[in-house]
Amino acid sequence: MLIWMAQGTAVVAVLMFILWLLHFPLRNAAIVDVGWVMGIALLAMIYAVHGVGYWRRTLFLALMVLIWGLRLGFHLLFTRVNGQPEEGRYVERRRKWGSHIGLKFLLFFEFQALLCGVLSLPFALAMHDPSKGPPEVENWGAAIWVVAFLGEMIADSQLKRFKLNPQNKVRVCNVGLWRYSRHPNYFFEFLIWVSFAIVALPAQYGYLGLIAPALILFFLFRVSGIPVTEEQAIRSKGEAYRKYQRSTSAFIPWFPSPP
């Protein structure tokens, strides 16, 4: 299993290197986000094809990851890369890094490949074990995935529609799911990873797959998720976003409070 993961991660590292080369003519480092999603989906497909895992569990996970990856990957491609200016968080990285920016972005891209390899642990565990597990666990995981997938898709669609209106350029998106959470897309993304881990639970050492959603939560709260996104939002929206912060839950959807 570890050999699978190492070989798969190496394939994703090559993909990230190609995307790093592409980011120069595109002048947009956000292509790394597309690469991260597609890298995860690619690893799941590699494990599914070469694995000997229980067919039902493998099929569930393969479909869940593939549908999630294609939907989110193309969404990121068309909203952050194709014909789009580079996102403020990457512009800010360039400003902070100063010199040797190309090399630093190469390390950043390849770190994403390594992260893909670690996050693919539940897929590797699930698709390596041929023993049959309780179908109820897989069913619950799939049910959570359906809710999370629809929630993330709706949140992304609402934000996209909001941004398409030129009048909203300096406004904060607080409509739909964004009225109840400042980051509903991140919340449902976390639930998607929880669903992956649940489906993998019946496999041998499947509990180790819980490392993936735990890492996702750590990155969302401490590294490249909420902190970076909100820093950029404050730079672009100012006091309007601070007011939104005071009234709206950061993560778990809940009723807004008075600002």
Q: How far is CA 180 from the centre of its chain?
A: 20
Residue 142: which of 200, 70, 93 has the closest Cα? Answer: 200
For the chain, the domains span 2-247
Question: CB pairs under 8 A, 24+ apart, for 99-108?
Answer: 102/24, 105/20, 105/23, 105/29, 106/17, 106/20, 108/29, 108/32
pTM: 0.94
Question: How confident is the model over 93-118, as pLDDT tens digits?
Answer: 998 898 899 999 999 999 999 999 99
What pLDDT band is residue 259 in, cutting at 50, 70 and 90?
low
| Res 258: pLDDT | 79
| Mean pLDDT of the chain, nearest integer | 94
Enclosing H/E stretch for 17: helix 2-26
pLDDT in tens, 168-187: 988 999 999 999 999 999 99
Cα 201 to Cα 209: distance, rounded to the nearest angstrom: 7
DSSP 52-80: ---HHHHHHHHHHHHHHHHHHHHHHIIII
